[in-house]
């Protein structure tokens, strides 16, 4: 059974992993104190039993417990998850800054990711997914004056392509990036000003033709045109946004876990 580790469990596994031999609860309690973790021997005993039941520790005759291969893997998994959470917080702290440089940085990151999702999607996309993407574009065309529909449609379109790539890591990276900044009214106004409906259709046509090279190239051109739009119209629309008192980080849409079609 896979157990979630609390801080004390992690400390116990780390101490036993570094120990030259098996450790008992008393010695472990002393080592925990050295790390600034004060807990009773009874509590340590319960934690040891839990870790043993999970398969992360094993008893060694009467000398104490040692870590198992499963325990070492669990520690590695914990370190990786902790690292990813820290990196996500760093990402959030950077991209949530509402300034031109950070907006462009997000788009540059998207360009690197989405050129590949478009290329892979051209190979892997199904007819059902193609029809869904066309429905998204048609829906946006019927609500071309509505900034919220423009923002919603843009994210659903790009999310649909990310999922169609069949690369879960790339899709996850895109889903981490798209909520930040790009869903503000500033960005939606720039989308409307530049009218990206044509380039969206060009991307979809390349996907329909299963032309990987064209899909990648058109996607890159599309995102570069968004960068150009930001550079050209940022001052005008960001001032309008402040005047309308939308707040520091106004959001027009919610994060989407899967592509949605009305």
List Cα–Cα distances, 94 to 100, 105, 107, in angstroms.
Answer: 12, 9, 13
Give the pLDDT mean for 131-143: 92
Architecture of the domain whose range is 7-76: Orthogonal Bundle (1.10)
119 falls in which pLDDT band (50, 70, 90)? very high
pLDDT tens by residue, 23-65: 988 899 999 999 999 988 888 989 999 999 999 999 998 889 9
**Residue 243 pLDDT greater than 50, yes or no:** no
Rounded to the nearest 10 degrees, how much is the dihedral formed by the CA atoms of 223, 257, 145, 97? -60
pLDDT tens by residue, 60-109: 988 899 999 999 999 999 998 888 888 777 777 766 666 788 888 888 99
**Residue 253 pLDDT greater than 60, yes or no:** no
CB atoms within 10 A of CB 113: 24
Radius of gyration of the chain (CA): 25
pLDDT number for residue 108? 92
CB proximity list for 170: less than 8 A, separation 6 or greater? 113, 116, 117, 120, 162
Distance CA 165, CA 161 (A): 6
pLDDT number for residue 144? 73
Which range of 11-20, 102-111, 221-230, 247-256 scores highest in mean pLDDT? It is: 11-20
1 falls in which pLDDT band (50, 70, 90)? low
CATH class of 96-243: mainly alpha
| Domain coordinates in residue numbering, the chain | 7-76, 96-243
């Amino acid at each position: 059974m896979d157990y979630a580790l609390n801080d004390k469990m992690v400390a116990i596994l780390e101490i036993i992993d570094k120990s030259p031999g098996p450790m008992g609860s008393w010695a472990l309690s002393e080592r925990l104190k050295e790390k600034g973790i004060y807990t009773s021997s009874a509590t340590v005993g319960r934690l040891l039993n839990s870790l043993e039941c999970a398969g992360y520790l094993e008893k060694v005759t009467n000398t104490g417990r040692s870590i198992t291969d499963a325990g070492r893997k669990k520690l590695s998994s914990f370190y990786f998850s902790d690292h990813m959470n820290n990196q996500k917080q760093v990402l959030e702290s950077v991209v949530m800054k509402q300034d031109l440089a950070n907006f462009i940085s997000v788009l540059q990151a998207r360009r690197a990711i989405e050129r590949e999702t478009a290329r892979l999607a051209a190979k892997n996309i199904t007819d059902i997914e193609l029809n869904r993407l066309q429905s998204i574009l048609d829906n946006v065309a019927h609500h071309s004056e509505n900034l919220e529909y423009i923002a919603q449609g843009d994210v659903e379109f790009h999310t649909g392509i990310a999922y169609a790539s069949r690369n879960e890591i790339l899709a996850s990276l895109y889903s981490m990036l798209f909520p930040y900044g790009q869903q503000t009214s500033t960005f939606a106004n720039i989308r409307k000003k530049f009218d990206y409906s044509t380039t969206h259709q060009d991307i979809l046509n390349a996907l329909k033709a299963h032309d990987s090279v064209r899909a990648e190239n058109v996607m890159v051109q599309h995102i570069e045109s968004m960068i150009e739009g930001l550079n050209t119209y940022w001052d005008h629309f960001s001032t309008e946004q402040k005047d309308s008192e939308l707040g520091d980080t106004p959001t027009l849409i919610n994060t989407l876990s899967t592509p949605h079609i009305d």
